Amino acid sequence: MARQYSGTLGKVGNCQIGVSISAVTDFASCPLNWRLFLPPSWDDREAATPQDAAAIRSRRARAVIADEQRHRAKWRLALDMLDELAGWGLAPPVAVADAGYGNNADFRAGIDARGWAYIMGVNGDLTAFPAEAVPEVNPYSGRGRHLLPRYRTKPVGLRAHVLAAGRDSAVELTWREGSRGPMSSHFLALRVRPAGRRPTGRLAEDGSLPAVWLLAEWPPAAAEPTDYWLSSLPKDIPLAELVRLAKIRWLIEHDYRELKTALGLNHFESRTFAGWHRHVTLVTAAQLFLTRLRTDPRAAAPA
């Protein structure tokens, strides 16, 4: 346990945080891998004083945490798990994530580096250049090192790109049939080149940043777009497919409620690192069993 921000609580609280990777289709989802996030307060190498380090080592010993298990950012844990799954032959056809991961340019670059496509939620204040922006070549005086070409204009927020395109660019699409009828809204997609604070590592030889899709949802009743995604999916992908993949995480969120409320994911009472992983494994197995029953066409329907 540690005081840290919890998305479930919506605030800082004394809690444990797990990072998971799920497989998802239009009809079912199931976690495939889990990691327990260890905050800096559980890593003696992050301690400010020798006394703090000694206290942390004592807590780690009581929780039976192996020495190699250290504080690691959540996005790095996610990449670790994706690499492990790929080693099992389970490389993702498309990596989907919420803004907690999508806002991180290093995480998106890590997915790119592995040759996987992604579509991830992001905040509208992330900056980008328009796709047609071209970096200019710096004149070389013959002395010193050559400088990379650079963009002469400043990037603007994703929200500004969508507002400039205008509401008239958005089209109505239905991404699934809900219990209360079709789930529909208005969407538009633009090509942009995300900038970020440290874009140098993502520059091509000509100094350009990679172009990706910017997808935005702009409901008719909203004064401005409500949701944004960045995606490295191909340029010729239909807008309807882009929207379907952006929205596919709803099923993971739905199944997480079952994991927490019906199957006991939140009911972990052990105090060991290995015990936590055994608990989430058993809960996952139970959820997979129920999912198989629900999706089996031969299963008897309730009377």
Per-residue pLDDT at 173: 96
Residue 286 lies in a domain: no
Burial of 102 (0-12, 13-18, 19+ CB in 10 A): buried
Sequence-ordered list of residues with C-beta below 8 angstroms from that of 282, at least 6 positions apart, any chain = none
- Stretches where the chain sits below pLDDT 70 are 1-11, 13, 137-149, 196-207, 298-303
Is residue 136, in this structure, part of any structural domain at all? yes
pLDDT given at position 303: 45
Q: What is the pTM for the complete model shown?
A: 0.87
Cα separation, 175 vs 231, in Å, equals 17
Q: Which amino acid is at 283?
A: V
Any domain includes 101:
yes
pLDDT at 135: 78
Domain membership of residue 180 (yes or no) is yes
Between helices 273-295 and 249-261, what is the axis angle to 10°?
A: 120
Contact 36/24 with Cβ under 8 angstroms? no
User: pLDDT at position 241, please?
Assistant: 97
E strand intervals along the chain: 2-6, 11-15, 18-24, 29-36, 94-97, 117-122, 127-130, 156-157, 171-178, 181-194, 212-217, 227-231
Question: In the 8-state DSSP scheme, what is residue 202?
Answer: G
pLDDT value for 137:
62
On whether residue 139 sits in a domain, the answer given is yes
Cα dihedral across residues 23, 24, 27, 30: positive or negative: positive
Query: Token match 């498309």: residue?
Result: 94
Cβ-Cβ contacts under 8 Å for 33 (sequence gap 6 or more): 20, 21, 81, 84, 85
Residue 262, in any domain of the structure: no
245/223 Cα distance (integer angstroms): 25
Residue 76 lies inside a defined structural domain of this protein: no
Nearest-angstrom CA–CA distance, 227 and 174: 16
**Does residue 38 fall inside a structural domain?**
no
Contacts with 272 (C-beta within 8 Å, 6 or more apart), sequence order: 63, 64
Note the residue count of the chain. 303
Task: Look at the chain and report how many structural domains it folds into.
Answer: 1
Judge whether 82 and 96 are in contact, CB under 8 Å: no
- In degrees and rounded to multiples of 5, residue 234 shows phi and psi of -60, 155
List the domain range (segments joined by +) for residue 124.
93-251
* 3-state SS, one letter per residue, for 3-28: EEEECCCCEEEEECCEEEEEEECCCC
